Amino acid sequence: MLNQTLAQQSSHKTAVTQLQLFIAFSRISLSSFGGAIFWTRRELIERQRWLTERDFLEIYTVGQLLPGPNVLNLTVMVGYRFAGWSGAASAVAGFLGWPCLVVVGMGILYQNYGRLPYVQQALGGMSSVAAGLLLATVIKLASVLPRQWRPWLFGVLAFIGVGVMRWPLLWVMAALAPWAVFAAWKYE
């Protein structure tokens, strides 16, 4: 009992039900054109206000260390944080259930209509928008970083390794992560 009260005080969690999780993650997955992270951030931080920018970035970071789609890992952890095992299951059902049906539907449509030239042209324009959404997301998330040189240095090195040199992600992480964690441990 005492433990429970302490836990509630320290985390300030909003009460969120399984149904709310299912609906929120359904909305995320059904609007996730061109990558899910933009829409997940928008729903959880700006619309529902369940998480702060920093909470979101922390959970996403942990999700990135684990195998599988990063946003799926985030879905599991957010669902679990607010409503335990069943919350995680509800969030995942919303996040993966609809896309499963929709992607099959689109596969059938594509087999019939995909080679029409204007479909290809529309897809071209939409891809440019998708790239913009991802850029905007990273700009918003970067506002959380402290104004110190060390975190930014690790961020820039990770960008150069993967984005410019195109080295495999696993190598870049293996080279940078231990130093980054050690520095955070030692100096913060």
Site residues for other proteins, window 60-79 (CB under 8 A)? 60-73, 75-77
Residues 101-140 that bind other proteins (CB under 8 A): 102-104, 106-107, 110, 114, 118, 121-140
Give the one residue of 14, 31, 52, 86 binding other proteins; rule: CB under 8 A: 31
Helix axes 53-65, 70-113, angle to 10 degrees: 80
Do residues 82 and 24 make contact, with C-beta atoms less than 8 angstroms apart?
no
Candidates 32, 45, 83, 90: give the one binding other proteins (CB under 8 A). 32
Q: How many residues bind other proteins (CB under 8 A)?
A: 99
Q: Does 52 contact other proteins by CB under 8 A? A: no
Instruction: Tell me how far, at minimum, the Cβ of 78 lies from other proteins, in Å.
Output: 9
18/92 Cα distance (integer angstroms)? 11
Q: In whole angstroms, how close is the CB of 16 to other proteins at the nearest point?
A: 14
- Residue 38 CB partners (closer than 8 Å, separation 6+): 32, 133, 134, 136, 137
23 touching other proteins, by CB under 8 A: no
8 binds other proteins (CB under 8 A): no
Q: Is 56 in the site for other proteins (CB under 8 A)?
A: no
User: What number of CA atoms fall less than 13 Å from residue 175's CA on the CB side?
Assistant: 13
Nearest Cα residue to 97 out of 183, 26, 186: 26
